[in-house]
Structure 1
Amino acid sequence: MVPPIHPSTTFARNEQGLLYDSDRIYARDQSINTEMAEALLCQLEAGTACKIFASGMAAATALVQTLRPGERIVAPRIMYWSFRSWLETFCAEWGIELAFYHPGDEENLMAVLTAAPTHLLWIETPANPTWEVVDISKAVALAQSAGAQVVVDSTVSTPLLTQPIVLGADFVFHSATKYINGHSDVVAGAIITASEDTRWERLCKIRAQQGGILGPFESWLLLRGMRTMHIRVERSCENALTFARHFEDFPGVIQVIYPGLPSHPHHETAVKQMKGGFGGMLSIRLEGGRERTAHVMGQMKCFVRATSLGGVESLVEHRALVEGEDSPVPDDLLRFSIGIENIQDLIEDLEQAIKE
């Protein structure tokens, strides 16, 4: 019922120098436990192949490194801030053109895509931490008309709510640290491909040469996490929707940003694209500006003040404070990762913090 852990770094040969029962040579790129986790995640995403990396950043940067100098990538202006920061530096240093679009604005996306020959379109949906929802099918059609391949960061949706490859995407990215693992004890990333094309071959070579593979024990934990993902995600979605509805018209709250609310500008797209729930992530904007928002965060007792998301525990974070002065995130916004705890406890926790 529970697979063993295979920690070996090398694999033996017989008297003739031939490998005994596989083509595995060295664990820098060939790990039995990692392959098991890859096979399951590939199946969940309806992909052709999957590569798991030692972090989400390792996976995302490896895919961008398949671009050649002089080529062009289009990315959302609102996205995971560490990756955005890396993109800006890497592209400038390596002669890759980087252009940003506004997520959720199809006309803007079309204008940016067609402004110059584009090779890769990066989509993050819902977009962290303001949760714009991009219509993947429409974005794929726009990208194909511009000759670009599409990668979708589906970390928040998980393969249980959205399957980007089924909707036409070329690649799916996951920070597997989040919902795929779900227990805040593994750092991992994954890329799943629709076809094993030239770009995929480059990506595989990058992981093999740079040694960015996830270790056997961490891969084993990742596989274990996926065994309960359907239950965890279902509960988080239910809790998040209840939480969002409760605070939408609450005194002291300016706005609740959650794709599951009819008030969300992309709610209809989310209904069409996200099957079985709208995710466990939401943001709340509070009256009183930056200082008041930080104060409310500091009064919480059930929510843990911490970075990351997608675990069984509920987290809260003041994103503008974390990202710094150049953050595009409003400074009155708190980001919530809603876990699987008793929802009434979570509601009462934010209520008392707002009233303090």
Structure 2
Amino acid sequence: MTDNNTNPGFDTLCLHGGHVTESNRAHLTPIYASSTYEFDSAEQAAAIFRGEEKGYIYGRWGNPTIAEAEERIAMLEAFGLKDANGEQLKLKAILHASGMAAISTAFMGNVKAGEKILTHQSLYGGTHEIIEKILPDFSIGAVIVDFHDLKAVEQALQTDKTIRMMHIETPANPTLQCVDLAELIALAKAHGVVVCVDNTFATPYLQQPFAFGADYVVHSTTKFLNGHGTAIGGILVGKDIARMSTALTKTHRLLGGNSNAFDAFLLVNGLRTLSVRMDRHCANAEKVAQFLHDHPAVGVVNYLGLADHPDHAIGMKQMKHPGAMLSFELKGGFDAGVKFMNSLKICLNAVSLGTCDTLISHPASTTHMGVAREQRLKFGITDGMIRMSVGIENVEDIIGDLEQAMR
């Protein structure tokens, strides 16, 4: 299903978006496990390399399995959105080996030596580290501002003309901070700054950054998009088709962060159940968050669906549902958290998120270990914080496991 003139529903796109019937009429697009592709003639090879004729060249440049994953996710991010001419918005996606590879392409393909990235205080640890520890070696700087303070954001944009990109992660990992996409993107556009949004926690089912004017969206497809914890991947989606097809594609190919046919196959099959999985994830998370909020052993719960979350109103303005992610801290602090995690029987102590089963982790000692403690605490990532990706098990069993572990 590649005809953008039709108007299939979101669930239908999850199942059929981007699928092209291949010669043997396989029900599902096969795993194209080939490193290279043949040409009919020298003339055809040259034409395909020049982009004058469609065709596959080399595995690092893509293949039919990867192409289906790319097209499907682009269609989901564009679902129901219109371009400046009132037509269905068209996007281009590039599948990567990981979410960090996709972020690297977005950064390196848009920001040059002497320029800067404007971002906020609560980011995934890997994203924070690439901005703080890798990009400076390429003379690419960072300006970190509290994105809740729109006046501070505007002042940064006004005073520093070397800012080329604004990078937003909302909801943020692991604090679940939520920032206003409409307001931030409007400020960026007023100053000619491109905007990239990490939409991993929300997925296009719950939030569509392109509706607010974003230029790029990135995902770790490892998470909710795959949904089963079977494959690592990342995707960069952009609305400037020409630039995505030239500068960003060139950056992606030369950095070598390409995906592979097997992981793309697993991703495509995970996407088939995205909407039904998210419905269950979200319904369970609401009940788990309320249970934790009411439990006497819990000091803090960070969940956008709770009315006392400071960003509750922002989240409800731009998201379909608060989502399946939350974090919390026991009143006993770090020691109580360790005892709690070691007592779990159903919920799994593992990094990553978005899988069908419930995963619980301790950011300070795992995903954010590489972030300096003083920075981590400033960003709200405390020593005792526990992050939870609520799965699709029977919610009574999830709550029962949490309850017995806190006794």
TM-score range, shorter chain: over 0.9
Aligned length: 354
- Residue 101 of structure 2 aligns to a residue whose secondary structure is helix
Segment drifting more, 116-125 vs 197-206: 197-206
Within 5 A, what are the aligned runs for 1:211-222? 211-222=256-267
Letter paired with 1:232: R
The letter for the 1-side match of 2:382 is P
Matched, 1:157 2:202: yes
Aligned with residue 258 of structure 1, among 303, 306, 315:
303
- What residue number does 1:334 align with? 386
Determine what percentage of the aligned residue pairs are the same residue: 34
1:13 lines up with 2:36 in the alignment = no
Once the two structures are superposed, the pairs formed by residues 294-305 of structure 1 within 5 Å of their partners are: 294-305=338-349
Q: Which stretch shifts more, 137-146 or 194-203?
A: 194-203
The SS at the match of 2:262 is: helix
- 1:41 to 2:73 alignment: yes
Relative to structure 1, is the Cα distance of residues 256 and 200 closer, same or farther in structure 2, using a 3 angstrom cutoff? farther
Query: How far, CA to CA, are the matches of 1:160 and 1:81 in structure 2?
Result: 24
Q: CA deviation at 1:310?
A: 0.4
Matched residue SS, 1:335: strand
Pairing 1:44-55 to 2, within 5 Å after superposition:
44-46=76-78, 47-55=90-98
Per the TM alignment, residue 274 of structure 1 is displaced from its structure 2 partner at its CA by: 0.6
1:23 aligns to what? 55
> Cα deviations across residues 180-224 of structure 1 (Å, max 9, x unaligned)?
101001100001001125476322101122332111111111100
Structure 2 equivalent of residue 95 of structure 1: 139
Deviates more, 1:88-97 or 1:307-316: 88-97
For structure 2, list consecutive stretches of 5 or more residues without a partner in the other structure: 1-26, 79-89
1:196 aligns with 2:274: no
Mapped partners of 2:245, 2:170: distance in 1:
22
Q: 1:49–1:194: 8 Å Cα contact kept in structure 2?
A: yes
| CA drift at 1:135 | 1.2
Letter in 1 for 2:387: R
Whether 2:166 is the aligned partner of 1:140: answer no
Do 2:238 and 2:244's aligned partners in 1 also have CA atoms closer than 8 Å? no
* Shift, 1:106, TM fit: 2.6
Give per-residue Cα distances to partners, 1:3-37, cap 9 Å, x unaligned: 22211222212255525984322121121111111
User: Which one is further off, 114-123 or 321-330?
Assistant: 321-330
Deviation at 1:89, TM superposition (A): 1.4
In the alignment, structure 1 segments of 5+ residues that lack a partner are: none
1:120 Cα offset (Å): 0.2
Q: Distance in 2 between matches of 1:313 and 1:108?
A: 40
**Aligned pairs (5 A) from 1:78-117:** 78-117=122-161
Residue number in structure 1 paired with 2:253: 208
Query: Cα 1:209–1:217, aligned 2, differ >3 Å: closer, same or farther?
Result: same
Q: What is the root-mean-square deviation in Å for CA atoms of aligned residues? A: 1.7
Picking from 340, 345, 348, the partner of 2:400 is 348
The equivalent residue for 2:331 is: 287
Structure 2 partner of 1:306: 350
Aligned counterparts of 1:113 and 1:297: Cα–Cα separation in 2:
43
Name the CA distance, whole Å, in 2 between partners of 1:76 and 1:228: 32
TM superposition score normalised by structure 1? 0.95
Structure 1 equivalent of residue 271 of structure 2: 226
Deviates more, 1:114-123 or 1:101-110: 101-110
Whole-Å separation in 1 of the counterparts to 2:268 and 2:327: 29
| Cα distance per residue 1:316-343 (max 9 Å; x no partner) | 1111122335233111211000010010
Deviation at 1:258, TM superposition (A): 0.4
Greater shift, 174-183 or 13-22, is seen at: 13-22
- Superposed displacement of residue 230, structure 1: 0.6
* Superposed displacement of residue 173, structure 1: 0.5
CA contact (8 A) 1:193 1:200 kept: no
Return the match for 1:169 from 181, 189, 214: 214
Output the CA distance in 2 between the equivalents of 1:199 and 1:97: 23
TM-score normalized by the length of structure 2: 0.83
CA distance in 2, matches of 1:169, 1:16: 41
Instruction: Determine the structure 2 residue equivalent to 1:242.
Output: 287
* Deviation at residue 82 of structure 1 after TM alignment: 1.3
- Aligned match of 2:14: none
**Which amino acid is 1:33 matched to?**
T
**Partners in 2 of 1:243 and 1:115 — Cα distance?**
44
- 1:177-196 counterparts in 2 under 5 A? 177-196=222-241
